[in-house]
Structure formats: C-alpha cells, structure tokens
Amino acid sequence: MAETIDLSMFVTRDAAGTAHMDLAVEGVGCASCIHKIENGLIQTPGIVKARVNFTDRRLAVDWREGELTAGEVIQALERIGYQAHPFQAARLESDEAEHARWLLKCLALAGFAAMNIMLLSVSVWSGNVSDMTQETRDFFHWLSALIALPAAAYAGQPFFQSALRAIRTRQVNMDVPISIGVVLALGMSLFETASHAEHAYFDSAIMLLFFLLCGRYLDHAMRRKTRAAAGNLAALKAEVAHRFSSDSEIVMVPVAALRPGDRLLVRPGERMPADGVVLSGASEIDESLVTGETARRPVTSGATVYAGSMNFSGALTVRVTVAGAGTLIDEVQRLLDKAIEQKSKVVRLTDRAARLYAPVVHATAAITVLGWLAAGASAHDAIVTGIAVLIITCPCALALAIPAVQVVASGALFRAGVILNAGDAIERLAEVDTIVFDKTGTLTLPEPRVANAAAVDPGMLECAARLALSSRHPLAAALAREAHQKTPYEGAKEEAGHGVRAEIDGMEACLGSPTFCGVNVPPTDEPGTSIIVYAHAGHSAIFEIRQKLRPDAAVAAKALAALGLELHILSGDRPAAVAPVAAALGISAWQASLRPADKIAAIEALKAEGRRVLMVGDGLNDAPSLAAAHVSLSPISAADITQAQADAVFLGERLTPVWEAVTTARRARRLMMQNLWLAVIYNAIAVPIAMAGYVTPLIAAAAMSGSSILVTLNALRARRRGRPRQAVSSPMRSALQARPS
Amino acid sequence: MNVLVYLVPMALALGLIGLAAFMWSLRSGQYDDMDGAGLRVLSDDDLQR
C-alpha cells in the first residue's frame, strides 16, 4: 500500500509560489556530501534552491509549489542516499541565532575600537616619557574619546541591559560592577581629557568590553551548538502516525500535527504516537517507557493508552485524547508542576561571586576616596584614585573565570555525548553525592534484546535473525538486531501476531510463537521474559527476549561508586524484575513498584538528609522526580516530557556518559574555584597599588590582559579527559558528527 | 607634527573600512556555516564543465 505523507506543517510558502522546508540530514560528513546533496537536488525538476548548512547538519530546500510535494523532496534525497527529517526550527533557536549575530557585531566593534585606541594610547604612553607636547596628547585623547564613547555605547549594550534587568529585580549580577566600572572609567577619562590631564583610561574601558564580549560570544556559540544538535536529534526521533482521513483512507502525518479527536491506526511494532482511547482491536502493549513496568498489559476497546507505549500483537484503532482528569498523565503533570514550583532556586556560582564582589570593590573604592581626602589630597585627585581602583579591580578575570570554564567543559561533555539543557547544570552536577537511577530504559537498554544469544548455535541464530528482518513484531525486531547480514529472505510471509515463514535452503523455516512453529517449550520462570522459537529442518532454537542491562552498566556503576557517590534504584517495575538488576550492579539500596509520587517522596527523603541527588531516568513516570532532584540526566530514548525536564541528555547505548558528566563537572567546578582564587590573588596585589595611587593606564592595561589570559588558559584544562572515549553509537554520531579536536 | 592631523584620521578611516567589510560579511551570512565554508572550497562546481 503506497502511503502519502502529509508534511504540510513543515512547509512555508511565499507569495511567489515558492515553498520552503528545513530538514535535518543524517550522515553528512564530508565535502562531497554537500556537493552530492546540493547538485542532486538542483537537478530534480521543480527544485529552485538547496543549501546545506554543514555546521548544523541541516538542509534548506526551496521548490516551486505545485511541481513537487514535500514528501517527494524527501524521496529525492533518499534516492541520492541521505535520510532527511523535516524540521521545524524552534522559535528559541532563531532568536538565539539573532542574538549571536548581535554579540558578534558588538565584539567586532569593540575589537576595532580597542585596537585603534590602543594604537593611540601606546603613542601617548611613549610620548609621556619622551617629548610629546600637550597639544598632541590632548589631540590623541580626544580621538580616543571619539572612538571609545560610541563604541562603548553600542558594544556595552549586552552588559548594560543585563545590569539594568538585574537592578530592576533588586539583584546584583556580574554585569552591575562591569557597567559601573566602564561608565565611571569613560566619564573620568572624558573629564581628565577636557582638563588636559596626563592619563586617560579609554583603552582600559574598551579592552575590558572586548575581553568580556569574547567570553560571552564563545559561551553563546557553545550553547547554540548543543541546542542545534538537540534539535536535530529531536527531528530524527520525530515519528509519524497513521491517521484516518476518512473511513478507509490512511494518511501518514507527523506526530506534531495530531489533534485531539483524530483517529489513528497503530500497528504491531509501532509506538503510540499520542495519548488516546482504544476504539477497536485487541493487543498487548509494553508501557515500560511510561511506567517502567516491563510486563505487558492487554488492552481492548475502551482502554486508555499513553504516548510512548509499544504496541505488541494486534492492530489498534485509537482516538487521540487530551489528558483527562484522573489519568496517569494528569497525575504526572500535577506532580511536575508542584516539583518545579518547589525547586529551590539554586544560586549560580557567578552570581554568588558577584554578590560578594560588588560590595567589596565598591567599598574599597569609597574608602580610597575618603582616605585620600583625609590625607589632605584634593577632591579631584581622591576621586581619580578611587576610580582607578574600580578600573583595576574591574572584574575582567572574575567575569571570565566561570564562563570560560563552562564553555570548555560543555564542549568536552558534548564530545562525550552529553548535551546540556540547563546553563548551570555543570555546577549542580559537581555537587552531587547521591545518584538515583530509574531501572527500565535507564539502567537497561530501552528496547528488549535476546538474552541467550551466546547459548544458541551461531548458524541457527543468523538464519533466525535474518528471518526476523521480515517481521514488524517487537520481539522479532530484538532478534533481528543479531543479524550480521541485513538482507531478509525472499518470499518470507508474516502472519501478523503469530510469526513468519520462509523457505531457507529448500526447507521451510518458521519463526514465531511456540504454537505457530509447533514446538513445545517448557514454561519459563523468569519474569518479563518473552520466548520466540525458530524451527528449521527438524531443529529448533528457543530465544529468550527481555530487557538487558546497558553493556557497560556494571562498569559505570562501579566507577560511579568509586567516585564516592551513593547509588540508589527507584523503579516502577515489580520487585522480582528490579532485584536481579540491583544485584548485578552491586546496588543495595533499591525500591520497586513505585508510583511517580512515591519516587518524589523517596527523593525528598534523601534531600532531607542533606543529600544532593542526581536523578537519571527516562520514563514518563520519572519526569516529576527529575524536576524534584538537584540535577537530572535522561537518555536520549526518554519520553519527550521527561527529556524536557532533564538538565542534560546523554546519547548512545552506554551508561558511562553519566560518569563522564560527573567527573567533567567536578573538574570544571575545581577549575572555576581555582580561577576565582586567581582573580582574588590578582586583586589582592593590584588593589593596594591602586589605592596607593600608583596605577597608570599602562599598568591597568597590562594587569587586565594578563589576568584575563591567565584564567582563560587555566580554563582550557577542563578539556582533559579521564578515560579514552569509546564511540558513541552510530545513528547518534551521524546526527552530531562531533569531531574530537 | 601637523602631519598627524590628517595621518591619524586616515589610519582610523582605514580601520573603519575593515570594520564595515566585516559587518557586510556578517550580514551576508558568511558566518552562518563556518565548517561548511572550509569544505565548499574543495568542490569544483564553480568550474564550468
């Protein structure tokens, strides 16, 4: 059955009849890919423009409306050899691109101004010790003012705006002392220039802005990069639903286009695209992504089903609903709102430093002024010295100390397959002393696997796995992963819900339920295990399929415990399913059969003991506890609501990214503290000199750039990795193409 | 030293031209795909075949 895909929600049209669509493309890895995609598309009749953005792995296509459909564009790309997924740029992302452009403009202007003023300043400094006339000096100072004032007015906006916002909410952030310092330095220099003085600080003020803008821009660029990668992953994950457009006709639509009241067909092996009520059909569904329960639930008409559950055996017709009162989703949402509300405001390290720093510096400057006045200096001299104190303490090093580390550390995490959602996640990750894991999908792989592959004859396994390729059933999908040769047998026939048959080497082979293959299987005592049987030429093999631990779960758990972290498991699954996992990982503190509210209660109990909890979970039932924990992580396979709550998302099949996240965050935190101390030491040396009135613009410039470079170099040490990286699993890698540098 | 009166502003004007060129390149989207720009130079599709 040929199905049409309705992608109209991703297409934008302009008045001239040109349609536009953005796509996230998989597998773009080299120069020839760009060439192949762009040339291949442009040769397709109807396509006007195709442009690959290699940095974001995205493609923008324009075509003449009416000659092509969005689906045909994607098919054209498939023929060229690339999988593409339509992409709706989040509003946030385009705003951020605009902001980045603005920061870059500010940076360019500050850089231009800093260079030219420095040129003039160096002339003045060397002129002051040789034979420069006063007229020439004044001329240079006025020129500096002419450059500095408009440049600061424009390039200083990011700081001034943020400082104003902070003051309006009666708070102090780092931008407040920065703005005060810059404005006072410029004002004082202007006054000094007008009174033909020897020193002006235009260069210090502008250089400060330039350094800080560098840090700000890099920080922003890093964040955009992670957000773009997260957006691509979301596009790759986005699924389609089969919607009845009339009683007999089915159209494939993106899940995002579904509305309450839509009727959907959900076939075996597909995930529920939305919450709904079963109208007709009977099946078993696996709700492990929703509740953590691994045993399947039988559903018939009238049953409520949740987005993310896997349909196992029969086709279902489902009517999409909005979350009704009393449903699980409703409970999760209620708990979630409460948890977010109660989430104590964690004060970020930078803000804490600013709160401490601003009053100290401003008091020091005031004391300097008063001290000089008391010592009999003129009001002018006293104020100039006071402002010199402000300039020299200008929080260059301090304001770079933390963002620089953050940029480097989130880059290192990105390469390790951890994508940060929250800006201050690194600081909070570093403080963690307890980790709470969900079981299903977090400690175990999200999809079930063959548990006894090693015990089966390899030839039989390969044949069975290849035969499984012809089936859509989830158990067959688990078996199909074991196939080395990914070509299905020709003429394989599936009997939905029972099994597949094909002729292999002239003999009939069958794969499916024991009755389908006519094989007697002793009942299994292992809970959560499903059996499928392969029979061929009088031989048969029994495959046990169940949730399997992530391949490195035991190693990662041991490594995390070695960091001094206490590990807990809180699962929604039955105790009989949780106990073996806990035993295998050596985790003694575990609880099973928990409802979302129980999980929160358990986390609150840990918090009441004064612990900082890192929650790692993927299920819909974990979303509230992720919000309640101090900091949270989700695997990329997690339910959408859950992922939105997590402070960071990790990719791939391995659990080691959790370890990477904690160690990198701890190292970053250590470097942040080191940097703060470096800034304090710098001030401890520079401030007395400034208070004594010995600071000249030359000393200020040297001290400022010296300290900034020092903290930035120190921040680069956050790149170092504790353990050689193993590959992130391949589909994720193609989405990211994170190249180690 | 009268030469400074026009030499220094000239130097500044040259700098401003550089700044204007940068702003133009920014506006025309040359910083939108930094990694791609490095690779596109390798493809020959600007040559007429």
- List, for residues A37-92, the tens digit of each pLDDT value: 888 888 888 888 888 888 888 888 899 888 888 888 888 888 888 888 887 666 66
CA distance A642 to A666: 25
Put simply, the answer to whether B11 touches A104 (Cβ < 8 Å) is no
Distance, CA of A409 to chain centre = 13
Is the pLDDT assigned to residue A682 strictly greater than 50?
A: yes
* B12 belongs to a structural domain: yes
Distance, CA of A136 to chain centre = 55
What is residue A65's DSSP assignment? B
* B44 belongs to a structural domain: no
Quote the tokens at residue A20. 């536009």
pLDDT tens-digit readout, A629-641: 889 999 988 877 7
Residues in chain B closer than 8 A to A112 (CB atoms): 15-16, 18-19
Pick from A31, A56, A109: CB nearest B19:
A109
Indicate the SS3 state at residue A419. Answer: strand
- The structure tokens 């260079």 sit at A115
pLDDT tens-digit readout, A76-88: 888 888 888 887 6
- The per-residue pLDDT for A731 is 38
Percentage of chain A lying above the pLDDT 70 cut? 92
Enumerate helices (H) and strands (E) in chain B, giving the number of each.
Answer: 2, 0
Max intra-chain CA distance, chain A? 110
Average pLDDT, chain A: 83
Is the pLDDT assigned to residue A661 strictly greater than 70?
A: yes
Question: Average pLDDT for residues A153-159, to the nearest whole number?
Answer: 94
**Considering only CA atoms, which of A283, A733, A274, A258 is closest in space to residue A472?**
A283
CB contacts under 8 A, A 142-181 vs B, are 143, 147
Amino acid at A206: I
Q: Are strands A566-570 and A589-591 parallel, antiparallel or unpaired?
A: parallel
Contacts of A221 (CB under 8 A, 6+ apart): A100
Query: Catalytic residue among A438, A618, A622, A647, which?
Result: A438
Residues in chain B closer than 8 A to A115 (CB atoms): 15
A259 touches A320 (CB < 8 A): yes
Max intra-chain CA distance, chain B? 59
CB pairs under 8 A between A and B: 61
* B13 belongs to a structural domain: yes
Please give, one letter per residue, the 3-state secondary structure of A444-482: ECCCCEECCHHHCCHHHHHHHHHHHCCCCCHHHHHHHCC
Where are the strands (E) in A580-694, listed by range? 589-591, 613-616, 631-635, 648-650
This model of the complex carries an ipTM of 0.87
* B41 belongs to a structural domain: no
pLDDT tens-digit readout, A207-220: 989 988 998 898 88
Put simply, the answer to whether A31 touches B43 (Cβ < 8 Å) is yes
- The per-residue pLDDT for A729 is 39
Is the pLDDT assigned to residue A262 strictly greater than 90?
A: no
* B14 belongs to a structural domain: yes
Taking phi over 0 as left and psi of -120 to 50 as alpha, with beta for the rest, A506 belongs to: left
A224 touches A97 (CB < 8 A): yes
- The per-residue pLDDT for A325 is 53
CA dist list (Å): B13 to A28, A138, A151, A502, B8:
43, 20, 15, 80, 9
- Number of separate domains in chain B: 1
CA distance A603 to A614: 10
**Considering only CA atoms, which of A221, A623, A673, A626 is closest in space to residue A430?**
A673
Domain of B16 in residue numbering reads as 1-29
Q: Higher-confidence residue: A527 or B26? A: B26
What is residue A708's DSSP assignment? H
- The per-residue pLDDT for A285 is 86
pLDDT tens-digit readout, A700-730: 888 888 888 888 899 888 886 655 344 333 3
Where are the strands (E) in A15-161, listed by range? 18-25, 47-53, 58-64, 84-87
**Considering only CA atoms, which of A668, A579, A654 is closest in space to residue A616?**
A654
* B49 belongs to a structural domain: no
Average pLDDT, chain B: 83
Question: Average pLDDT for residues A443-465, to the nearest whole number?
Answer: 84
**Considering only CA atoms, which of A590, A312, A560 is closest in space to residue A440?**
A590
What is residue A244's DSSP assignment? E
Q: Catalytic annotation on A622?
A: no
- The per-residue pLDDT for A91 is 65
Residues in chain B closer than 8 A to A32 (CB atoms): 43
Indicate the SS3 state at residue A684. Answer: helix
* B45 belongs to a structural domain: no
- The per-residue pLDDT for A727 is 37
CA Rg, chain B, in Å?
A: 18
| Residues across chain A | 741
* B38 belongs to a structural domain: no
Q: Higher-confidence residue: A489 or B13? A: B13
- The per-residue pLDDT for A725 is 42
Exposure string for A547-567, b = 16+ CB within 10 A, e = fewer: bbbbebbeebbebbeeeebbb
